[in-house]
Structure formats: C-alpha cells, structure tokens
C-alpha cells in the first residue's frame, strides 16, 4: 500500500530507519514521508515501536541503520529548535502557577515573553493562569504541556499518546486542541494506540506492528467508501428486488433486522423517492459512517498472515 501523492514537499523523510536493541528489532526499516501541514498518526499497539521511532526523530536515540531528514531551517543539530515535543510528562513545579511555569519554560527555550499569554489562550488555560499547577486536572496539565511545547512557535509538534489517562472530557479537549493547532498550518506527528483518536484528528497515518510498517496512507483513503446505507420495509423481499434493479452495481446484504447497501449509492432522498416509485414504503433509512476499527483489524490480520 503506497503513499498518496503529496501536494507539497515532505517535511520529513524516513529512509530504511531501523533500531535494534541487541537481538530485538524495535523499528524495522521504515520508509515513509510526512507531508508538511499534515496531522500524521503512528498507530499501533503498545510495544509496536512508536515511541522508539519518535525518539530517533528527536535525536534522543541513535538509529542502528537508515536515516531520517527534516526539511527545516538550519543544520541538523539546529533543526531541533523548530520541533516542539512531549514524549514524557514535563517537569512543572506544583507550587507555581500555570503562567509562572510557562515563564520558566520560555526562559529555558529562549521564547519571546508575549508567547506565554498567546499559548495560554490557545490551550484554554488563560482564565486559570494564576492558579497553582497542583490544582490543575490531568487534562489541564496535558494542555499546559502542549502550551510549553508551542512556546518557541515550532513548525512541528510531536506528541506521544497525548490523551493517555484522561477522562472523556479531557480527551475531547485535547483532540480539539490538536485540530486547532493543525488548522494553524503546523505539522503534527502523534503516536497513539487508539483507533478513534487517529480517525478523528489525523489526516494521514501509518500502522506499526512489531516495528514493521503494515500500512501508510490517508485516513480518508483507508476508510474509502466505508459509508453504507441501512434500509428496511414491511415487504423486505420486495425491497431487495427493487434495490437489485435500481442500484445493480451496489452490494446488497440481507441482515437479521435490516438490509445493508454498500458501494456507490444515490443520496438518501433520491433513493427513498426511487423506491417509493417502485411501490416500496420504507420503515427505515439511514446512512452509517465507516469506522477505522475494522480496517485496522484487517490490516493487522494481513500483517499477521503476510
């Protein structure tokens, strides 16, 4: 499964990137490109090599072989300043306020002081900026960490499992924040074992399993035409006969409680009208959205048998 055509120059290219720990192959010859301005997900179960890959991209770990190249200003050792990252829980001081913690982070990162209020607004913590860090919820702490990573206004933001341990409200806030940051034109690379997370926030993703890439592409392409239509009628056999003549190219499946229509289908109002003209009165008609879950499980299954 190849890469989709890039509409812009890639901001990151991985060429046969490999990491071994003794006999253990943690990352196995990864070849991918990350498009500038995309939200790119590394999707895979725990132990699949996601964090190891991010560690190499940040220069924390040395590759065993292969290479990676950032299209960022400066020499390789200077490019790190254009990347904001959260790999582990950041070290904030519990007795200091959110604003004070960011002031300290701005000094360390040599970021402009005006960025502090800007990122507090962006991450939704401006109203709580004078409250001590220890009073923050886990979700607020994670948003402050993202704010700290954004202080130098980096081109790239790298996040490792950004919603881990959060309650549902916290998860929604972090996902919305990631979308907002992506809408600003920044490139985001995030590792996650959550299918739902990748489907909701990422534009592109790769599936990792035991260090091997099983899939690379856009979320939209992976889902493809996964939308399907659910119908029912008192005269179900009449419904199926009518569908066979009206949409012969579609896949029609009779389920226990309804009829499922997959493939290229008319919009619902047109379909309802066509069936009505055939004398079929529908008792149920809805379009269901596809899920990455079945696609992901199929990819993992192919990787297992491949």
Residue identified by tokens 């179900």 is 236
Per-residue pLDDT for 302 more than 70?
A: no
Mean pLDDT lowest for which of 170-174, 237-241, 258-262?
258-262
For residues 74-95, average pLDDT: 84
CA–CA dist 299, 209 (Å, integer)? 10
The 10s digit of each residue's pLDDT in 137-161 is: 999 999 999 999 999 999 999 999 9
For residues 158-170, average pLDDT: 90
CA–CA dist 279, 274 (Å, integer)? 9
pTM of the model: 0.74
More confidently predicted of 301 and 191:
191
Contact, 254 vs 240, CB < 8 A? yes
How confident is the model at residue 303, as a pLDDT?
Answer: 47
More confidently predicted of 295 and 43:
43
Rounded to the nearest angstrom, the gap between the alpha carbon of residue 90 and the centroid of all alpha carbons in its chain is 22
DSSP code of residue 152 = T
Q: What percent of the chain has pLDDT over 90?
A: 48
List, as one string, the DSSP characters of 191-238: EES-HHHHHHH-SEEEEEETTEEEEEEEHHHHHSS--EEEEE-SSHHH
For residues 45-69, average pLDDT: 91
Mean pLDDT lowest for which of 72-86, 96-110, 172-186, 254-268?
254-268
How confident is the model at residue 261, as a pLDDT?
Answer: 81
How confident is the model at residue 132, as a pLDDT?
Answer: 96
Please name each of the domains of the chain with its CATH number: 10-221 (3.40.50.300), 228-288 (3.30.70)
Measured over the CA atoms of residue 188, residue 194, residue 200 and residue 206, the dihedral's sign is positive
For residues 211-229, average pLDDT: 76
**Beta-carbon neighbour count of residue 218 at 10 Å?**
15
Which pLDDT band holds residue 300 (cuts at 50, 70, 90)? Answer: low
Per-residue pLDDT for 215 more than 80?
A: yes
For residues 270-291, average pLDDT: 83
List, as one string, the DSSP characters of 6-39: PSS-EEEEEEEEEEEETTEEEEEEEEEEEETT-E
């Amino acid at each position: 499964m190849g890469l989709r055509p890039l509409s812009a120059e890639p901001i990151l290219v991985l060429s046969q990137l490999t990491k071994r720990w003794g006999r253990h192959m943690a990352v196995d010859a990864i070849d991918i490109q990350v498009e500038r301005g995309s939200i790119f997900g590394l999707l895979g179960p725990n132990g699949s090599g996601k964090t190891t890959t991010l560690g190499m991209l940040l220069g924390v770990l040395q590759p065993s072989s292969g290479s990676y190249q950032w299209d960022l200003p400066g020499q390789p050792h200077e490019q790190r300043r254009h990347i904001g990252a959260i790999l582990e829980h950041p070290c904030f001081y519990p007795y200091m306020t959110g604003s004070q913690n960011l002031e300290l982070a701005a000094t360390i990162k040599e970021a402009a002081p005006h960025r502090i209020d800007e990122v507090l607004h962006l991450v939704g913590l401006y109203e709580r900026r004078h409250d001590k860090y220890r009073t923050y919820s886990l979700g607020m702490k994670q948003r402050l960490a993202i704010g700290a990573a954004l202080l130098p206004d980096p081109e790239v933001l790298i996040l490792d499992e950004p919603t881990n341990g959060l309650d549902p409200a916290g998860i929604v806030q972090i996902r919305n924040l990631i979308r907002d940051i992506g809408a600003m034109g920044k490139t985001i690379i995030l590792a996650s074992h959550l299918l739902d997370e990748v489907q909701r926030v990422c534009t592109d993703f790769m599936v990792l399993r035991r260090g091997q890439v099983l899939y690379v592409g856009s979320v939209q392409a992976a889902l493809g035409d996964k939308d399907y239509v659910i119908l029912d009628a008192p005269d179900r056999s009449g419904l199926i006969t009518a569908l066979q003549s009206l949409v012969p190219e579609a896949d029609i499946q009779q389920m226990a409680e309804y009829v499922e229509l997959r493939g290229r289908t008319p919009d619902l109002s047109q379909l309802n009208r066509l069936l009505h003209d055939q004398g079929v009165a529908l008792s149920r008609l809805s379009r269901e959205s596809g899920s990455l879950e079945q696609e992901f499980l199929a990819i993992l299954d192919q990787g297992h048998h491949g």
